Structure 1
Amino acid sequence: MAKQLLSPLPGVFYRRPSPDEANFKNDGDAVAAGDTVGIVEAMKSFFPIEAEEAGVAIRFLVEDGAAIDAAQAIAEMD
């Protein structure tokens, strides 16, 4: 069963630390517990989203730069 990664708060989801840097993770990448997979911008602050568990492959459910809600699934891992 796939494990979902949820947003801790509403804001804008980004898959990379800045526009000119690579994504934290890409679809299909392995993920270790504690890996940062994205960030949420809320109220001019940035909050990392970290994997709580390891996964074999990650699939993102929202696009880079998308507005998201609190507790919204942003990715799934096998």
Structure 2
Amino acid sequence: MTQQEIQAPFPGMFYRKPSPDEPVYVEEGQVVQVGDVIGLVEVMKQFVELKAEISGTLVSFAAGNETVLEAGDVIATLEVSE
């Protein structure tokens, strides 16, 4: 098994939840499939869904909820089987 980092595609604010009153999109240790939303990146009052581009198990989040990101910052790490 190998690990792959999910990086911020552009600068903005990262959110793990769709809204403050709702649960996080994905928990650490959860299996995700291609296209699953793992969070949101807000830039200029627009929210862009951050989706998994590969299937695997979400090992950990490097970015917490409401973290300011720069393009290329690591958001999470996935463990994928080859």
TM-score after normalising by structure 1: 0.94
Q: Which residue of 2 aligns with 1:2?
A: 3
Secondary structure of the corresponding residue to residue 22 of structure 1: coil
How many aligned positions are there?
78
Deviation by residue 1:4-32 (Cα, 9 ceiling, x = unmatched): 11111101100010000110001111110
Please report the RMSD computed on the Cα atoms of aligned residues, expressed in angstroms.
0.9
Q: Which residue of 2 aligns with 1:73?
A: 74
Q: Which residue of 2 aligns with 1:48?
A: 49
Larger Rg: 2
Deviation by residue 1:15-63 (Cα, 9 ceiling, x = unmatched): 0100001100011111101100000011010011000000023311111
Post-superposition, which runs of at least 4 consecutive aligned residues in structure 1 deviate over 3 A?
none
Pair 1:34 & 2:35 matched = yes
Q: Gapped runs of 5+ residues in structure 2?
A: none
Q: Which residue of 1 aligns with 2:58?
A: 57
TM-score after normalising by structure 2: 0.90
